[in-house]
Chains A and B, each alone.
Chain A
Amino acid sequence: DIQMTQSPSSLSASVGDRVTITCRTSQSISNYLNWYQQKPGKAPKFLIYAASSLRDRVPSRFSGSGSGTDFTLTISDLQPEDFATYYCQQTYNTPRTFGQGTKVEIK
């Protein structure tokens, strides 16, 4: 199975900050990498596919990059509704493994 390692596990930031979350995979997955956002008590929301392509209606302050084994999710101009936990997921093969999550908290 492909192992997914996100860093940091949590971070504190203020509204308006720029935040970067990293996801590293145990083997190369080309750009078969998704990002999801989950708020407490809610189901996850699909944000980004193919490492950098935003899903419909996802604000442009979200961006993704990377290829191979190293990927990043960046949130520029952090908004109050962005405080949540973010997960990466590989779709290179099955099982479709997730990272352990990064919690973005209010400073």
Chain B
Amino acid sequence: EVQLVESGGGLVKPGGSLRLSCAASGFAFNHAWMSWVRQAPGKGLDWVGRIKSKTDGGTTDYAEPVKARFIISRDDSKNMLYLQMNSLKDDDTAVYFCTTIAGSARRGPLGYYYGMDVWGPGTTVTVSS
């Protein structure tokens, strides 16, 4: 069974740091592209960023509000995804989900279609003094 489980959430003061982890199982993690999505209380989904597989370059992309503060990394030997969050702000309070990124079998005019396929249950981060 494909499974993702996030951990590491908690209460942190503004300006503080936190590292979230996502344990993956049931699939070839080293070949997977992965992402983080967050959801503030009572709000919609907010894309945080993604990391490609090492065979596809291992590159990362981030949403503007977290760029230079958050770092996504992976340890393929442990089937783990990480989100290092620094200089945390009140606005970062949210449930954080890790997801796999699935690519379609067919190509569109600009390449393959991608979507967030498997999601973890999420871990809650609260930034408050």
Interface of A is mostly: loop
CB pair B61 A95 closer than 8 Å = yes
Docked complex: B37-71 residues within 8 A CB-CB of A:
37, 44-47, 49-50, 61-64
How does the 8 Å CB contact mask read for B95-129 relative to A, with 1 for contact and 0 for none? 00100001010101110011111011110000000
A94 to B110, CA, bound (A): 14
> Could you say which interface size class chain B belongs to?
20 to 34
List 8 A-B residue pairs with CB atoms under 8 Å apart, sorted by A's residue number.
Answer: A30-B109, A32-B110, A34-B115, A42-B121, A50-B106, A50-B108, A89-B47, A96-B35
A sample of 18 more A-B contacts (CB under 8 A), given A43-B121, A95-B64, is A30-B109, A31-B108, A34-B116, A38-B45, A42-B121, A43-B97, A44-B37, A44-B45, A44-B97, A46-B117, A49-B104, A50-B108, A89-B47, A91-B115, A95-B63, A96-B50, A97-B47, A98-B47
Assess A1 versus B45: contact at CB under 8 Å? Given A30-B109, A32-B108, A43-B120.
Answer: no
Question: Of A42, A53, A87, which one neighbours B45 at CB under 8 angstroms?
Answer: A87
Assuming the contacts A98-B46, A98-B47, A101-B44, asked whether A46 and B110 have C-beta atoms less than 8 A apart, the reply is no
Where chain B touches its partner, the secondary structure class is strand
**Which of chain A's residues have a CB closer than 8 A to the CB of B121?**
42-43
